[in-house]
Structure formats: structure tokens, C-alpha cells
Chains A and B, each alone.
Chain A
Amino acid sequence: MLKTLYIIVFALMSTASWGHGGVMNEGNECKLRVGPYVMNFSGYQPENNVSKQFCDDMPTIGKSIIVLDFIDNKLRDMTVNFRVIKAEVAALGTADDGKVNNAELAQTPFFEIPAKRYPTGTMTITQDFKEKGHFVGYVVIEGENEKFISRFPFSVGYPNPGIPAGLKIPIAVFLVIIVIMIWLARRKPVVLNERKED
């Protein structure tokens, strides 16, 4: 039983922050890191999941909208190029997901938004994914004397079967409380020392 308890607690606690390459789910925000700069990453599928917001992976095929909101204002003065390349495998969930592959980058993209400045700080990408599959996204930003590339693998049409990230910590806390309650219920009541008669 103890081993099971250890496994549950550690498994649930280890997911406070997770990511696929450059895209990181930090707390309740999905962020894309490109070199020293940060953007908010938001995915929408208005036809299937109207008000739901996704972080890189899109659960169903169909019309999808990706919005990048620049947190660092300096990005507004730089060009941003967004390209998506088809991949054979899903994200590995390791540091390799974020490693830029020049050969991959040189491939003809599945779709691409050419480099352009976005003075309002928002880049909106609309794409109709007709088939499910695995992809690799690249965001290339370029300023006067600097250039940074971010890589993030993602999948379309593969719903996440796991426990939603936002529920994992509350479930872990709930389980610990249950264990403590069981422990308290099984305790023997405290008996005060009886006064000895002389």
C-alpha cells in the first residue's frame, strides 16, 4: 500500500510544469520561449471546442487557430516567421523536443506564415487540419542583430486521455487528506494517566 501511495503522490506532483520543446505550460499559462523572449501560446478550435483554449496539441481535426501574444514588447519590432512541418512521431516529452534540426527546417513546410512584423503584438495563424497527425512547429524571430529559433512538436487529432493538468494537484491533496483521515480514524484514543489512590 505504501509503495502505491508513493507512486500516486510523486506521479501527480511531478507535473506542475510540462512542455513540448519551446512551448511550456506554466501554471495556468501556455508560453512559447524563443531565445530570451516569451510569447503566450493559445490554440483554439472554434468549430469543435468553441471556448476551450489549448496548449500546442489540438485534440480534433478541423479549423484551428493559433494565437501568439508577445509578452516582451521588443518582439513587436522584430520579424516573426511561423512554419509547420509534418513529422512521423509525436513529441518525446524530453529536452530533444526543443532541439532545432536544420535539415528539418530546410524541408518544404506543411504551411508557413512568412516573416513579418506584428506591431500590435499578436500573431494569428488559421489552419484547417483535414487529417490527424504529428507536426513540428518552428517560430523564427529576427531583429537587427539577433535571430532566435524555437521548435515545438505537436499533434492534431489525438485527444489527451490523461487527467487534466489543472486537476492533478487537487486530486493529490485530496488523496493525502483521505490517507490522514484513515490514519486518524485508526488511532487509539489518548488515555490520561489515572490518579493512583494512596
Chain B
Amino acid sequence: MLNFKKSVLMLLAIMVGCIALYAAPAMAHGEKSQAAYLRMRTLLWYDVEVSTTKLKVNEELVMTGKFYWFYDWPSNIAKPEVAFLNIGIPGPVFIRKASYINGVSGTNSTRFDIGETYEFKVILKARRAARVHMHALMNVKEAGPLIGPGRWVEVTGDMADFTNEVTTLTGETIDLEHYGLVNAVKWHIFWGVIAAAWLLYWIFQGPILIPRYKKVKLLGDEADDMITPANRMVGLVMLIGTIVVVTWSYFNAYAQYPVTIPLQSGQITIPALPDAARGVNVEMIDARYRVPGRALEFTIKVTNNTNSPIKLGEFTSANIRWMNPEVSQAEPADSHDPVASNGMSYEGGAVMPGQTKLLKATCTDAAWETYRLAKLIYDPDSRFGGLIFFFDEEGNRSVVAIGGPLLPVFI
């Protein structure tokens, strides 16, 4: 019969096993799991495009787009004092050849200004065959990754054909895919063998772990006697040997590669793009979320300081787009691109140059629920954010950030 202790341990083991078996494979990489306010009120991405969605190993893909740092930044999220533009892909399917923010190299981490817009360009080279959902993303220190729109991209070909050749400062052409690999493996094996020998030696020098701890307690001040003169000699040889090997390897590497530069870990500040609002001012009057209808309804006071009449064509937030097809049209780029092609409508018509007018807009789509944005109404402050796009008769676009408290309506 089982005793109490064994029974408890067995139950714990069963629980751990059940939880492990219950865990389903993760098919996405977290874009819906981030809190709604985080996606709506931090980094707002738009105009994100990829140069191709099908390519072969060694071919390049360019991702471009813009991002806006939302003016009503959540107080509990670290501001972008140190941030790094990246691409989120499951596994090393691509390598990054270069990245640019407003034309400046994105090699270093960057400081960004809240309330400003930047454009980016990332050049990738296909490394192995895969079909992946790739996202633009911004890593912000102490805030984590802020994820941009995703695109399905398919890479075909053989990874064995992949090359990543670069020319060094000294004019030598090397393939980074294999460069230094043999040397790295050699040194890993060397230190692995040394470490294993050291470990094995001590395993056979008397009691180990808890029995040794007990013996040390028992011997008290005389515990040092457990270390024999032979043990001390082996330790000394190991110490001197390690120092000699490390010193020799350092000078040997320096002799082989006398010209090097350190890893780039600096930080730069990049000036923002000109104001994308182009003279259109918007004031939020009120906003409601109609729960059963899956609709955001907001009233805004718009002042048009441009020279042309403008109409409301799009609302975007959390990488989802609600289009007003009478003004601006867009279709989903792929099966997972959340574009509500007929999702937006508004009352109020065009805003004439110099005119101030109230517009009442409605953004409807199941995406509010399926992308978990509706969870916003359960937040303590229930504030939303997003970008609205106005278009004049010539197709010129004004991009304005809007946001504020959101009142849920159930009836």
C-alpha cells in the first residue's frame, strides 16, 4: 500500500504530466496575446509591405513601412529610450543584411520620440526553405517587443546552397555561414573535455553532494583535511594550465586577426519625419464600443487647414485596418491580414478647406473580438488609440492619431 508521501508525489507527477500533455502546439507568435491597450496605444504601424512573398534561398526580400509612436503612451509601459528595429520570424529562415530608419542605418539601438512618425526598410536574405508568418517588430528596452503587421512568405530551395559572403576590412571575402565554425567547434570540444575530466576527478575523491555536506559538518574546522596534497597539486596544474591556454589563445587570435572592430552596441537618435497630419486637426468628442455589434463609434471635430476638401478613408489600430471603400480601398494581403474592406463608414461628408466639422464614424468588424481588442473595455481606464487617414481629391493623405476613453454599450 502506498504511503502518504508517495501518494502526494505521485499526484504531483500526474498533474505535471497532464499539464504537459494538455499544452497545445503554438501556431502563432503572440500578436493576439498582447493586451489590447498595448497594441492600440504604443506603436502604430502602417504602409507595411514586403517586396515579394515567394522567393528562393539566397534571394533578397525588402520589408518597408512606417510607424507612429502613439501620443497617449500608457504610463505603465517603458518609453522608447532604447529600441531596436527587428523582424519576427520563427527560426533562422532569413538573415538580416541591412536595416534603415528614415534612411539612417539601424545597426545601433535608437531613441525615438513619442508622437512622431518614422519610416523603415529592412533587407533580408533567404537562408532555408520554409513558409513563415513574418512580422516587423520593435524591441523596446523594459517594454518588450511591439509587433507590427505580419505577412506569409514562402522560401524554396536548398539550405546547402546558401551563402553569406562579405568582404572584410582587409579585403578578404569570407562566407559568414561557415566562417570560424571549425575553430568554434574545436574549442568547445577542448574545454568540454577539460571540464568533464575535472568533474570526473572530483566524483572519485570521496563523498559528494549531501554525504559530503554532512561530512564537512561533522568535521567542522578540520574539514580542510578532506583535500589531500595530491588534490591540491591537480588543482594547481589545472589553474596554471587554464591560464596558459587562455593567454596563448588570446595572443594567437590577435596575431591572426590584428585588425578588428568591436560589436556595435552604441545608441543613436534619428530625426522624425515631417508631421503626417499635413494641417488637419482632430479633437475626440466621444467614443463608444457597441459590444454585440462589434462596432467602434466615435465622434470627432475636424478642422481642415489644407487647401482641398478631405474625406475620412481609413481607421487603423493594432495592425487592423477598417476601410471606407467610398474613399480608400484595400484588400487583405493574405489569409491572415486583418483588413475590413467595408468596415468603416461615417456621417458628415467632406470637410472643406478652413472648415471645422463634426464627423461621426463607425468601424465594424469581427476583428474587434477575434483579435481580442474588445477586451479593452475591461481595462481600468478603457482608453483606445489609433490612426485615421483623410484623403483629398488628389489622393493626398493626412494621417492623424486619435484616442481617448471608450464607453462600452451593450444595448
Q: Which A residues fall within an 8 A CB radius of B?
A: 2, 5-6, 9, 13, 16, 40, 42, 44, 46, 50-51, 65, 67, 69-71, 73, 119-122, 124, 126, 172, 176, 179-180, 183, 192-193, 195
Contacts and interface: CB of A to CB of B under 8 A. Distances in A.
A172 B11 CA distance: 11
A126 to B, nearest CB: 8
A50 B343 CA distance: 26
B411 A46 contact: yes
A124 B366 CA distance: 11
Interface stretch (B2-10, B61-69, B197-205, B383-391): B2-10
B257 interface: no
B291 interface: yes
Interface string B172-194: 00000000000000000000000
B15 A176 contact: yes
Nearest to B369: A69
A120 B365 contact: yes
A5 B410 contact: no
B22 interface: yes
B18 interface: yes
A120 B8 contact: no
B292 A124 contact: yes
7 contacts: A9-B11, A42-B369, A50-B410, A69-B366, A70-B366, A119-B341, A183-B4
Contacts of A9: 11, 14-15
Given A5-B11, A6-B11, A44 B294 contact: no
Contacts of A192: 214, 217-218
B8 A13 contact: no
Nearest to A180: B8
Given A6-B11, A121-B370, A176-B12, A67 B292 contact: yes
Contacts of A124: 292-293
A167 B370 CA distance: 24
B408 interface: yes
Interface residues of B, number: 35
A194 to B, nearest CB: 8
Given A44-B410, A69-B370, A121 B365 contact: yes
Nearest to A76: B366
Contacts of B365: 120-122
Contact of B370 (A5, A71, A193): A71
A195 B14 CA distance: 41
A8 to B, nearest CB: 10
A44 B291 contact: yes
B168 interface: no
Given A42-B369, A73-B335, A119 B214 contact: no
Contacts of B343: 120
B373 to A, nearest CB: 12
B114 interface: no
Contacts of A193: 214, 218
Nearest to B218: A195
B370 A120 contact: no
A13 to B, nearest CB: 6
Given A71-B370, A122-B369, A16 B22 contact: yes
B23 to A, nearest CB: 10
Contacts of A65: 292
Interface string B319-360: 000000000000010010000111100000000000000000
Interface string B23-42: 00000000000000000000
A46 to B, nearest CB: 4
A119 B220 CA distance: 80
Contacts of B366: 40, 69-71, 120-122
A69 B8 contact: no
A119 B342 CA distance: 8
Interface string B286-329: 00000111100000000000000000000000000000000000
B346 to A, nearest CB: 16
A73 B365 CA distance: 11
Contacts of B11: 5-6, 9, 176
Nearest to A9: B11
Given A67-B294, A73-B332, A120-B342, A40 B8 contact: no
Contacts of A5: 7, 11
